[in-house]
Structures are given as structure tokens and as C-alpha cells.
Structure 1
């Protein structure tokens, strides 16, 4: 890069002029590509692969910004940093998109057949599947794009199929009838993660079931009347005195006229409904467990589209489940067996993609045995080989893993990894292998594909193509993901790593916060409260957005975000830009010389160098503990407060002096410290830091701040004496500035000041005068307070500012008297309100607290105003 004159540097920072330019530069020079290098220690992050149907969300912004911070920092610290990007084929989401896309053109999936449909899926993937990747690049992520993976890549596909075959041959995969979440719209089993629970206002129907050989009825309550057609028992709690005499007897199931037993089971809640529940083992998860315990009959009453099948009476067959519900309720009423109906609020699971209520459904599926796979995965977290941040997620992890159930891994879809099982057309023999049987004409392959998670659970090792790469890069270092997929992905990846690689897949798992709006609501499309991140980037810049989400996101706490909060990031970017322009402006007239960097130092230089090294220590500690939010606040405080607000102001007098060598030493040092500050900030705000770093001095093609060496803390440069001395000077300057503000002294006017102290050193006086705008400064341990002066006290130091001639004392007295009177009236009003017991006892607590806070604040202000008034006399 060539040297740029100050006149060419824009006065205001414009992200649009910078971001695309530098991203192209990084990409063209392949700065983020990693190869096996046994002389360097690897640091690896596997990206949680977004769905190819995905679009950039605020959740992606937080997740990928965190990953980018970790990878950029480690790259600068000398690690062989490798952030592997990629996308997930997302079976059900993609199949739904393509099916709907074809339907709009009048093409039906079933009519064109599997092979033709898959061609359309691949076309769709090529056209739309990389949108989110392009959007992520706008955020500035430093992925190794030469390593981009897709879960349907040929070699990745082979890994998935091989894993299935190996587990099948080990007896860990089997086919059987089990209860699954069934999506009637897509006619497929779906995972728990693809079920969205909605609270709905429904009904609770009470049905009377006649007890056989008795005049009695047992009344059951249900939210799903249609499922009574598949009832095979009625259950009561064994300790319920109301029903003990009925246990072991039978009831005649109305409509169906089937006799079913009354059983006792501790699962039954005596307080729900009547304390007696109908048991439909084929259509309810809890009923399924009871059915297994009591060896009940399992009767499936639904087809795969949730219409009724031949297992219900003729007049109710082949009808929608909700139509059947109406008819069942009407029939019960007709028979005189409808006891009552109550309004009832309940949670219903909806298919995320099909947007219809799911059906708990007894279905023949492929399952994976999980108990043996879970044990080593539990142990490595307990032993601390894998650490969770925040740590409290371990409890959630252990609870699920220690109560784990077999995993339904098959899906009734076409897009995905087809199950490598073939059935002999004549003998029914099962053939399972990576390669099809040689006499393929005699076999028919299983129609199902694998659950998407049954491919992505291999992600941490299958992203590497060769054995050499796996040995070098695996295990990976850090996984950044949402806690909502702790079971579906994190736990299963740990199991896969321990089983197939005999080692953990990653060392640290950072669980991100949930992004909420300013009202605390989770951001969602349905609420319309989620901003478009690309629009936010367009308005504020990627750096401002990145900075803001991290600044607002303490580890383990949710983020309350609104677009306007990006002013935080934009203001910080402008502050950094102005500091850079100031240095560049002076670089045009003052020659820098690295040989002078340690010469002509005073206590302000000692202080800023000490603060820089102290900041580096604090920053490294925060990052080592995954306290990323604290880390950015540490950097922010150093740049904004220490460097810009104080140090740059303090060096101006020396930089504008006559001694060329001093000027050169001061500017060279200031730029060096600024470059270190930019490097600290770079992982968080990559674009503006790259731009300023390149402007500061000529760089060769391919050089970048992102691959420069990260500054190291030097304990020997941390000077407690210099920091204490600077704090003392800052307190004096701040006290004088506060007096100026309180007394309404115009910024353009200089004041005289007297300091009663013997601690102020001669070389500090010039700084105090210049930064506090003091004309004459008297420092004496015996100084007396002048008449008509304002004062401030801190530690053992007293400061006096004579006001005669600075302000019109009579006008100021009148102004203060009016303000004192106003405050006294306000305090009297709030005290009257707080002395009213009715108000204090009946008003909301937050309202009362607000009034008390007002009272305290006003009393403190009144005290201060009276002191100022006395000073004028």
C-alpha cells in the first residue's frame, strides 16, 4: 500500500468506502487460508453450518462475530488459525422450499419422481444455497473459504454413510416401531428441534366411559377427543381412593364398543381433570410409556397425512382428524356420554416447516442406540476435558445425557443422505454397506434419508478431507453455538468424536446469548421485531454492528438490542477515526523516527505505556476466560478514555513545540501505541482498524493488520507510580473543569486557580494549566481561600477558583437562589407524597422507589447549590 497524504483522508469515517475494499483484499490474498504446518500450533473453529435455506439474522451476527473475534485474535497471536466454513443441506427445510417452488410452476413432486426432484434440489442449492455465506462476508468474517464444506459433498456424504454402516454392523442402529414426532404436511418424522410449541386456547372434554357389568361410569378428561378411537386402557393413580374398587375392571369404549382395562399407574396426576385418563399408546408419548409398562395393545388410527385409517369405524374413516373430532364429540353428546366441556389453555407442538400441529405417531423408523455412545461423552465433560461457557449449561447437558433415549435417525424425505440399506425383493434379506449390492437388480433401497443431525454430528472431523489434516487439526478448539441445540448437535458431536475419532471434537463450547428486542421479547419473524442485519450494516457499518452486539452481550445473559444502539459502535468508530486523522495530520509535518521511540519521555508517556500493558494483561485474562464482553469494554476504555481523551491532549504541547527531536519522539511513540491499540481492537472491528493501519505507513501487498503480530504485555513497563501520579493530575483537572461547568464559565475564558497542596510537582503544572484552561496557577500548602471563589476538595487537596471578573456575581446569585427555591419546592412536593401512607402502600413498588430516588437526587443537588451560593459570598 502507498503512503497517503492527510489531505486525502476523509474527515468523517464512511464504512461503505472501506468494507468491500478490504474484504476483497483479504480474499484475493488468501490471508485466511490454513495448511498443515507442524511448526505452528493449530487453532481451529468449525462453523456451525447454516442451512442452505438460511438468511442472515441477528443471531448469526452475534454467533459469527464471536467466532471471528476468537479466530482473528489467535491468528495474530501466531497460531495456525483455521476457521472452516460450510453449509448444511437441511433436509426438511430444503425439501419444503423446493416442493413449494415446483408447486408454483404446477409441478408435483410425486409425479416427477425422486431422481428428477433431486435434480431440482441441486439447482435450487446452486442458485439460492449460498446467499447466507455471501451475507456473512458482509460482516467481515475471516473464514478459510478455500475449505468451504457442504454436508452433501461427495466425500462428506461418504463419511455419513460409512458412519451408518459401521454403527449398524456394531448393532447400534436398528429398525423398529417407536413413537415419533410426525409432520402430516411433509409426511415425515421430525426432530424435537423442528417442533415449535404454541400456547392455544382449546377445550377440555369430559367423556363418560361405562364400566362393564356395572351401572357406574368412569369420567376421563381429554384435549384430543378423536384419539379415543385408539384407546386401549383407562388409567388411574394407584393411591386414588375414588377408583381403587375399579382397578382391574373394564370399560366399554363408546363408539368403538371395544372393552379395555382400567389400570393403575403412578404417572397419572390425581389433580388433573377427574384423576382418570384415557390411554392411547400409539398417539401420545406418555401413553406409549404406559402401554409398554402394562403390555397394552397399540392401535394406530391415522394415515401419514393425519386422516383416519381403517382402524376406526367405517363412518369415521379417511377424514381429517379435526373433522373426526367434531363427529366424536357430537356422537358422545348423542349417546348421553358427554359430561361437560371446559375452556382450557394448552401447548401444542407445531411442525416448524409444515406449520401444522404434529402428531405423536407410532411409526417404523431407523433408530440409534444411545446409552453406550453417551457414557464417554458424559465423562469428558465431567472430567473438564471439554469446558462449557457459561458453566451452568453442564447441568442441562448431564440431565439429557443421563436420561437419553434412542435417536430416530430416519426421515421420509428424498433430499438428504439416503439410508444405505437394501432389501432383497424375494427373500427380504437386508444388505447394508457403503457400496450397493452387486446384483442390484434384485434389491430395493430403503426410501428414507437420514435426519440432518445424523450428518452434522460428524462435522468436527468430517470437514477435513485427509488423514494428515485430521491428525493435525483435530480435535478442534472452540465451538460457538446456541444453547437451543445443546442436545441436537453439541452432545451428538461429542458422542461422534469419542466414538469415531476416539477423542473429543473440541475443547471449549461457548453458548451465545439470545438476542431480544428492547422490550425483552425474543426476536422473530412473526413478531416483526427483528431488524435486517444487512440494512443495519448499510446504515451503521459492519464494525459498528459487531462492536454493539458484543458490547451488549455479557457471557450467559441475553442481549437487549435495538438498531439505534448501534450509535454506540458508530460513535466509537468516529472517535478512533478522529484519533487516526490527528496522528496522520501531524505525520505530514513531523518526521517519525523509531530510534527515538524511548527518548524524551515524561510521566504522561510512562503512564500511557503502563496503561497499555495493563490493558493487554486484563484483555488477555478476559479472553482466556471467554469474557468477550469484558474484553471489548477493556479495549474501549483504553482507547476512548486513556488514549484519546487524555494522552492525545497531553502530548499536543510537546508536538507543537520547537524541538524537532522531541516532536519526532512524541509522535513516533503515539503512533506506536495507537498501532498496538488498533491490533487489540482488530478482532472486534476489522475494517476500520485495517484502514487506519494501512494509512499510517506504507505496507507491502499482502500485508494486513489481521496477520500482524499481536502486542505482548510487558510487566516491567507497568508503573504503579506513574499511574497514581496521572490519576492525581486527572483529578485536579477534572475538579477544575467541574467548577467551570457548575459556575457557567464560558469555555473560551481562562481562569486563575489556587491549589492547597504540597503534592503537585513542577512538571505537572504545565499539563494542569493547558488541559484545565488555567491562566495563573498558584500551588502552596498554606494557600487561603479567596473571597467570592468556588472550591473543590478531594483527598487532602483543596482547589479554589476566584470568580471576580469571570462571571457577574449578582446575576449568578439570583440564578442560584431561583434554582434553590425551585428544588426546595420540588422536594417538599415529593416528601408530601412519600409521607402519604395510602400512596406508599397502594402505588406500584417501582413508582414509590422512583419517587424516593428523586428525593435523594434533589436533596444532593440542593446541598451542592447551597455550597456554591455560600462560596459566592
Structure 2
């Protein structure tokens, strides 16, 4: 019997179905869904209700198994982009399913202070509003301005994440500059310092002159220059030329010989302290050990031998500048060469007499001319080069020697490497294990200090008495003096003490994020730390495996004696539909809010110009963006409204574990139509239930029809694929299984197959009712982690049965809906029935194709003739003849053709031909025209298939085209082959 809908606590509203079995009053008109799916209405206010009900907060003192994750903290000044949307949707799908599987879930949100990014934004703001920079107002006032900015704009991305439906526990939200996190950062630094792992030394760093700070390797963008190019740099009034190689000569001391070297940065020769050649290079063997005259310093530099020299590159002789090249720095250490710095932190030349105080690129022009005047310049010619630039400012990175704080990583990385090799730390997908081993095999130490004003000021003090100096890590000045007195052997009050003005690299503070957010270092009294640390999973982009995941592991092991997590899921970088990485320079960036709400071409244009006015886009980037919009969205007059659910489903329809994850707006809109299909299926179900008449007998499993059993078998298959795929994080397989089942099999086939039963057979109608209730409830639950809003709206609208003969979910008194389990549905798997039905549906689809080809209307019911030697097929058709006629929209089915009627033929297989009656005037013309049309399509497809096969087998294509493009092309080829096969059946 039909019953009232259960009261789904917190997540689902109660729908008060009238409990009058067998009457047309079962479904009230006001309970029916709206005519069509409207995401804006469905999504309105739901998230607020979820959050206020505490739905995303883990239970205290729960006996459920725990599952915990932290959201990789987005920048506090950030705005939601598709990369965020992908990362958050991946994690949200995971945690929502874990809750529905019975786990007590903590998913912790937070934002990162993002030192460089935030400081840059506020500096731009000060410049545009007050025409001042941070130096004009001083450090204290500048930090106050940053806090004002954070309070005003800092929660923008958090609110946008709410829009995306992510089920974070906002009651535990953190910020990396909060007092608790700052205390954790200071504690971590001091403990590592006392262990001897943090030390201070002079070394080569990435220096951005525009920022006046060191930057991490991830903030260095290497630009390939293939031909001479003018680039306008920050602080310059005219462009600087790049893409040339300069050859000049060093004269050999006490000899008439010379040695010619090559460089793309001639001004750095002012800091040359040696020349290197390969020990086996016969051209220079006689010069090894001799000295060359430096033309501007009037001293000599050694000519040394080293295997690192490439004899094929340039002249085979290499100038060595240890103070301004990372490679040369290492060579210099091996050969005990002096470190001569000739470029200062202000970008001006130093320690070079006549060239001092010139900007390095002004110096370049003068120096090259001077070398020419001295007769030492040999050649200047175009040359390919890689230019390191700051991703934040666009300025060219200088490599400068600077006293900095470093974390010794050798032993820490060795331990991190062993954890992966032993399987204690699992990295998914496994292809990134090699990246991990490569990173952990690098014995370079980590520079953790930055010359910024916004961030965690390093808790280190320079303590001195006369010329005696010692650095102490401490929480405050008094503690530093007390500690320093032990080494300086004097009273604390007689010690001069100055705190380091540098701040810590943001990656350091985010490296302790997994345990600091859960209460470390006061973890002994913190229940969250005891309950949820280590984390169950860390999910993030593969591009920060070394920069962030590695740092979390080494710091977690050292400071907590535990792995911060034992599983790492790495996802790809978001790309457009053509596989190109999204970037401002390409103009292909898509705002996810525009996808959710829709945006017209005119609005896209206005937004692009506004971003140019704000300084976000250059003129060239504006042009590329507008061209991209025109070529991709003009057909739809902009980006159509898709809604959150369609966006989430589309993001996970690609393999997230590949290097790049493509996103197609048009596919997203198609998934909105999929949402509408689901919406209409609920409406159909409710209207069908309303047709049910009173039935006093019982319905058993034996009463289920052929198509009831078929859809339950397909449901069993779908549930298994979804569970298996979600367990292995192959979400694209889960979404494909869901879409195929719900769209193609359930909506397009099964619902149509139930119409005769609901209309004509009471007992059959009740069998369908049991099936519909179980199938819809099950499939919507499987869909729920992906499409959070529409499933929340529709699951309560599925009338249940007090004793469903198929399946009843045990949701009573539960906070979350139960997720379907594979083993509960295996009983319905029936492979032989599926094989039978596939053959039947093949026949139905062929009839539909023939009707379409010959423009046979569904309104005029025609006859079908089946000619087959397959007796089983005949029996199957006869058993469900009314359904076959309904699905094909035909009136009669025979097995011998009537000679008085005209038929057109289609080939099902070698044993079976299908015919459909064709009536009307000029039948021969109709048939001839249709066949000509098909033959032209076949010819065109055959040509296309031939060209694609030729292309995909070409060795140049296989060696040069990206893996993503090759996979995409193979899928297109398979699709065209299938289309060709379908057409060939019709003639």
C-alpha cells in the first residue's frame, strides 16, 4: 500500500501525502512539481536552512567511524573560479557520501592570508585611492589597512562556496592569521629552530624587485622566448629587449690568446669570478689553470674544468657568476669561488665602479657598447631563452645572495619518501608517485623567509653585545634576551635585541594547517585533534604536490610524530573545452557564477572592460577574451543559466585524476536539461500514482512486469558502478552511469513502458508503483552527492510504500539519507533478461529511426512487420506486445507482410529484418529522397572516418599531440563509426 512520505530530518522537508490508497485524490495538485525545472527557485534559501540546522557539523561523542578533511584554504582576497569549483565539488561529493554511509564527518573550512597576493591587492588599492604605497604610510598602518580589506572583502569566496552547495562546517572556520594559528606558526618555528632544523645563512634566492621580496619557486613563471621580444617591465618607461645572446672575449693573462663566452644577460659579467670549460674539450685543455683578465675590474679570474659544461652549447666556454645564477652558485661552492654581488635589491648595479647605480637593463646597453669599444664584443644574435618572471608582478626575477632563514629538508624528505615507498602514505593516482620521489630526493633546503609586511612575522631576534651576535627564536623579546644570555655570557638587560622584520613563507603556515586548525599545539586538551587527527584524506591539485602536500607531510611528521593524512587525492588543472589551460593571457577564463546564473554577451563584454579598468586585464588580454566569447558563446547569445547542480555534475563528468580537466559550457547546459528530465520523471510518477484505482489484492515480486525487472536489473548495475567508482574517486564513471541510467534507460524507456499498465491494468499499475518508488528513491540518493539542490527538493516528493516489495531504505530517525549499497540490489541483477531487452529495444529503436527517415508521423498509427528466424525474439515481442506498440507508436504488429501495403525495410541483424508501413501519395518519391539523403550522409561519414583513422595513426601526431587530445579524437572517431553503422542499417 502507498503511505505518507517519511519525515527526513534536517535535510528533507515532510510532504503530507494523503493516505488514501487507490483514489485519484492521492496526489494533490499543489503537491505536484512546477511545470519545468528552475534552478534559481530550487536553490533559493536551501543552503541557509542546511547551515542553520547544523547539518554539516559532526556529532559529539558519536560512535560512528570518523572521517575528516580540511579544505585547502583559498586566498582571503580570492574570488571563486572554476579551479576552486572543481576542488570543492570533488571534496563535497566525497564527504556527503561518507555521511550517508554512516560516518561522522568533519570537513573544515578556512582561508589563507596569502601574503604576497593580499599585500599586492591592498597596495594597488592604496595607489588608486590615495596615490600612496606601503612605505609612505609605514608598516603598522599598512597592516591595519590589510586587516580592513580582509574584513570588508575577505569572506567573498566563502559566500560563493556556500552558493556552490559545499557542506563545510562553518562553525569551525579558521583564518591563517587568527591568534590561534599565529601561535601554532610561532611554536612550530621555535621548536624546529631548537631542533637545529631551522637556520640562517646567506644563499641565492628568487628576488622580485617590484615586490622587494623573495618569492617561492611556485611564484616564478618561466616564459619561453623564441625570437627577439620587447617586454615592458614594472618601473620602466620603455620596453626591454630580450631574446638575444651576446658573445664577448676574455683576454688570457700573459698571452695573446682569448677565450670567448656566451650569455643572454651580459650585465652579469660584472660579477664573473671564473670561466669553466669541459675537461675533455681539446680546444681549451691548454687553458685550464690559466687566468683571464676581467676588463672592468682589472683583476684576473681562473679558467677551470668541470663536467657540467656542454661542449656543444655556444662556444663551449661558460662564464661563472655565482652571485646571480643558481647553477653558477653550486659550481662556485664546489670550486670555492668568491660570491661577488653586482645587482642590488633595488635592481641597481653595485660593486662595479663606472656602472654603479645604473639600472641593470640601462647598464646592459652601456656595457655592451663599452665591450664593443674595447674590441671584445664578438657577436649579438637572436637566441631562444627562458625568462624567469614573478607571477604576481610580471617583473623579471633576479637571483641574489641574501641572508635568509632556511629549513633543512634532507632528513625530513628522506622520511617522507620512505612513507610513500612503504605504502603508509598513498598518493592517487599512482602516476604522481614519481613526482613525489623526485621532489623528496632534492636535498635543497627550503627558504622560508619573505620580505613582506603582511604575514606571520618571524619569531626570531638578533641579540648582540658589542660585536658578538646570536639569533634566538622566541615568543617575545624578554624570552629571547634570557635565552641569549646563556650564550653571550652576560645579563639579559645588557643585550641589544631586534626582531627580524621578515615574515614567513605562506607555505610554512599552510604546511602546519592540518593539525594547527584542529588545536595543535594545545592538542592535549582539544577534542577535535583527538577525534579527527590525522585526517582521513587530503584532496588538492597535483600542481602543488611538492609545494604544499610535501610540506604538510614533513612538518606533520616532525611536529606531531604522525602522518597528517595517509591518503592523498590529486586532481587535474581546469581547462576549457578545447583542452587549453584557463588563463587571462588566453582569454578563456570562465567565471562559475556566470555559468550558474547565466550571462549575456553584452554583460560579458562589460565585465571584461571593467576588469581592464581595474588593472586585472591588459589590452591584449581584453581582445583575446572578447574573441573567445564571440567564438564560443555567440551561438547561445552568451552563457545560458545552468544552475549549481548542472555545474557540479559537469565538473565531475571528466576524469579528475588526469593532468587536465576540461570544462564545456554547452555540456553544462545539457546537464541542466538532464535536471529537467529528472524533474519531469517525478511529475510523471505522481500523475501516474493519481491514476491508480482501488485494488484489494496483494502485489508480490512475481507480479513485476518484464520492464519492471529490466529496470531493476539496470538499477543494480548502476548502483554497483556508482559505489565502485566513488570508492576509487573515478567520479566520471559514476556520473556517466547515473546519466545513462536515469536519462536513457529510466526516463526514455522505462517510463514510456509503464504507461499501458497505469492506464489499463490495476495490478500492473501497482507493480509499476512499487518499482517507480524504489528506483527513483535509489537513483536520486546515488545522485545526491553530485546534485545537492534538486535531490533535496525531489526525494521527499517520491511517495513511499509501507512494505515495498523491492526495497525500503532505513531512514527513520536518521540525520542523513542512507546511501544505496551494492549488495542490497544484487538480487535484481538479471543479465539474460537485459540481453533479451537490449534486442527488443534495438528493434524498437530501428522502427523509430525508419519513421524518422521517412517522415512517418506518430499520429497516424502504422503497421510493423517482423521477419526473423529467431523464435525467441518473436516470443519476447508477443509477451510485451502492447508495450512494443506503445514505444514505437504503431497500431499493429505482424510477421508476414501484407502485399497490399507498402513497407520500407531496416536490418536489425543477420537473422532479422523489420518493416514499417508507409502510406500516402508519391510513395516512390518519398522513399527515393530519403535513401538519397542517407547515402550522402554515409558517404560523408565514410570520408570523415577515413581521414580521422589516417590522422590518429600518423607517427607525428602520436608523438606531438597531447594525450588528452588523442583520447578526445579517439572518442570522436568511435562516435562517427557508430553513427555510420546505424545509417548503414537503414538502406
TM-score higher than 0.5: yes
CA RMSD of the aligned region, Å? 3.3
C-alpha distance in structure 1 between counterparts of 2:920 and 2:815, whole Å:
52
Q: Which whole-Å deviations, capped at 9, do the CAs of 1:202-247 have from their partners, x for residues lacking one?
A: 1101111111000111111011111111110011111111000001
Q: 1:118 pairs with 143, 155, 172, which one?
A: 143
In the alignment, does 2:767 pair up with 1:645? Answer: no
Q: Match of 2:567?
A: 508
On the 8 A contact 1:599/1:665 being kept in 2, the answer is: no
Name the stretch that deviates more: 784-793 or 235-244.
784-793
Unaligned 5+ segments in structure 2 are: 1-12, 17-27, 229-242, 482-492, 599-641, 801-810, 948-952, 962-968
Q: 1:455 pairs with 504, 509, 518, which one?
A: 509
- Secondary structure (helix, strand or coil) at the match of 1:534 reads helix
C-alpha distance in structure 2 between counterparts of 1:355 and 1:533, whole Å:
26
Structure 2 vs 1, CA of residues 504 and 824 (structure 1 numbering), >3 Å: closer, same or farther?
closer
C-alpha distance in structure 2 between counterparts of 1:413 and 1:742, whole Å:
70
On the 8 A contact 1:597/1:668 being kept in 2, the answer is: no
Q: Which whole-Å deviations, capped at 9, do the CAs of 1:590-634 have from their partners, x for residues lacking one?
A: 489999685731222222222212211111111112211111101
Quote the offset at 1:695 in angstroms.
3.5
Structure 2 vs 1, CA of residues 812 and 317 (structure 1 numbering), >3 Å: closer, same or farther?
same
Q: Match of 2:855?
A: 744
On the 8 A contact 1:37/1:80 being kept in 2, the answer is: no
On the 8 A contact 1:230/1:299 being kept in 2, the answer is: yes
C-alpha distance in structure 2 between counterparts of 1:805 and 1:123, whole Å:
78
C-alpha distance in structure 1 between counterparts of 2:937 and 2:508, whole Å:
69
C-alpha distance in structure 2 between counterparts of 1:712 and 1:595, whole Å:
28
On the 8 A contact 1:72/1:706 being kept in 2, the answer is: no
**Matched ranges for 1:433-452 at <5 A:** 433-438=474-479, 442-452=496-506
In the alignment, does 2:110 pair up with 1:71? Answer: no
- How many residue pairs get aligned? The number is 847
Q: Match of 1:135?
A: 160
Structure 2 vs 1, CA of residues 6 and 579 (structure 1 numbering), >3 Å: closer, same or farther?
farther
Name the stretch that deviates more: 721-730 or 569-578.
721-730
Q: Match of 1:837?
A: none
Q: 2:185 pairs with 157, 160, 166, which one?
A: 160
Name the stretch that deviates more: 600-609 or 181-190.
600-609
Q: 1:734 pairs with 845, 848, 855, which one?
A: 845
Q: 2:212 pairs with 187, 203, 207, which one?
A: 187
On the 8 A contact 1:204/1:344 being kept in 2, the answer is: yes
C-alpha distance in structure 2 between counterparts of 1:740 and 1:352, whole Å:
59
Structure 2 vs 1, CA of residues 826 and 688 (structure 1 numbering), >3 Å: closer, same or farther?
closer
Q: Which whole-Å deviations, capped at 9, do the CAs of 1:423-461 have from their partners, x for residues lacking one?
A: 225353433223442587842111111100011111121
Structure 2 vs 1, CA of residues 532 and 855 (structure 1 numbering), >3 Å: closer, same or farther?
closer
Unaligned 5+ segments in structure 1 are: 835-839, 869-873
**Matched ranges for 1:149-228 at <5 A:** 149-200=174-225, 201=228, 202-228=243-269
C-alpha distance in structure 2 between counterparts of 1:209 and 1:764, whole Å:
95
Structure 2 vs 1, CA of residues 646 and 259 (structure 1 numbering), >3 Å: closer, same or farther?
same
Q: Which whole-Å deviations, capped at 9, do the CAs of 1:660-699 have from their partners, x for residues lacking one?
A: x65344224303311211111111111111111244469x
Q: 1:287 pairs with 328, 337, 350, which one?
A: 328
Q: Match of 1:469?
A: 528
Q: Which whole-Å deviations, capped at 9, do the CAs of 1:512-533 have from their partners, x for residues lacking one?
A: 2222223432111222211111
Structure 2 vs 1, CA of residues 800 and 123 (structure 1 numbering), >3 Å: closer, same or farther?
closer
C-alpha distance in structure 2 between counterparts of 1:231 and 1:174, whole Å:
28
**Matched ranges for 1:797-816 at <5 A:** 797-801=911-915, 803=917, 805=919, 808-815=922-929
C-alpha distance in structure 1 between counterparts of 2:882 and 2:657, whole Å:
44
C-alpha distance in structure 2 between counterparts of 1:704 and 1:685, whole Å:
23
Name the stretch that deviates more: 751-760 or 268-277.
751-760
Quote the offset at 1:79 in angstroms.
0.9
**Matched ranges for 1:13-32 at <5 A:** 13-32=37-56
- Secondary structure (helix, strand or coil) at the match of 2:703 reads coil
- Secondary structure (helix, strand or coil) at the match of 1:348 reads strand
Structure 2 vs 1, CA of residues 126 and 818 (structure 1 numbering), >3 Å: closer, same or farther?
closer
**Matched ranges for 1:512-661 at <5 A:** 512-539=571-598, 540-553=642-655, 555-588=657-690, 590=692, 600-657=703-760, 659=762
Q: 2:890 pairs with 774, 783, 786, which one?
A: 774
On the 8 A contact 1:608/1:643 being kept in 2, the answer is: yes
- Secondary structure (helix, strand or coil) at the match of 1:392 reads helix
Q: 1:46 pairs with 57, 62, 70, which one?
A: 70
On the 8 A contact 1:230/1:301 being kept in 2, the answer is: yes
Q: Match of 1:419?
A: 458
Structure 2 vs 1, CA of residues 604 and 584 (structure 1 numbering), >3 Å: closer, same or farther?
same
- Secondary structure (helix, strand or coil) at the match of 1:551 reads coil
Structure 2 vs 1, CA of residues 216 and 705 (structure 1 numbering), >3 Å: closer, same or farther?
farther
Structure 2 vs 1, CA of residues 307 and 734 (structure 1 numbering), >3 Å: closer, same or farther?
same
- Secondary structure (helix, strand or coil) at the match of 1:377 reads helix
Quote the offset at 1:102 in angstroms.
2.4
Structure 2 vs 1, CA of residues 772 and 804 (structure 1 numbering), >3 Å: closer, same or farther?
closer
Quote the offset at 1:823 in angstroms.
8.0
On the 8 A contact 2:448/2:505 being kept in 1, the answer is: yes
Name the stretch that deviates more: 612-621 or 104-113.
104-113
Name the stretch that deviates more: 576-585 or 679-688.
576-585
Q: Which whole-Å deviations, capped at 9, do the CAs of 1:529-562 have from their partners, x for residues lacking one?
A: 1111111110211111111122134531523334
> TM-score normalized by structure 1?
0.90
Quote the offset at 1:20 in angstroms.
2.9
Query: Segments of 4+ in structure 1 off by > 6 A?
Result: 591-595, 702-706, 820-831, 843-846, 852-863
Structure 2 vs 1, CA of residues 683 and 826 (structure 1 numbering), >3 Å: closer, same or farther?
closer
Q: Which whole-Å deviations, capped at 9, do the CAs of 1:749-803 have from their partners, x for residues lacking one?
A: 2222343342224432222122122322236xxx579685334454675344353
**Matched ranges for 1:295-374 at <5 A:** 295-309=336-350, 311-313=351-353, 315-374=354-413
Q: Match of 1:720?
A: 831
> TM-score normalized by structure 2?
0.80
C-alpha distance in structure 1 between counterparts of 2:944 and 2:849, whole Å:
28
Structure 2 vs 1, CA of residues 859 and 800 (structure 1 numbering), >3 Å: closer, same or farther?
closer
On the 8 A contact 1:460/1:476 being kept in 2, the answer is: yes
Structure 2 vs 1, CA of residues 824 and 420 (structure 1 numbering), >3 Å: closer, same or farther?
closer
C-alpha distance in structure 2 between counterparts of 1:804 and 1:343, whole Å:
73
In the alignment, does 2:774 pair up with 1:672? Answer: yes
Quote the offset at 1:153 in angstroms.
1.4
C-alpha distance in structure 1 between counterparts of 2:979 and 2:511, whole Å:
60
Quote the offset at 1:815 in angstroms.
2.7
Q: 1:260 pairs with 301, 305, 308, which one?
A: 301
C-alpha distance in structure 1 between counterparts of 2:939 and 2:108, whole Å:
66
- Secondary structure (helix, strand or coil) at the match of 2:323 reads coil
On the 8 A contact 1:823/1:858 being kept in 2, the answer is: no
- Secondary structure (helix, strand or coil) at the match of 1:18 reads helix
On the 8 A contact 1:679/1:705 being kept in 2, the answer is: no
- Secondary structure (helix, strand or coil) at the match of 2:667 reads helix
In the alignment, does 2:289 pair up with 1:248? Answer: yes
On the 8 A contact 2:221/2:391 being kept in 1, the answer is: yes
Name the stretch that deviates more: 806-815 or 342-351.
806-815
Name the stretch that deviates more: 723-732 or 336-345.
723-732
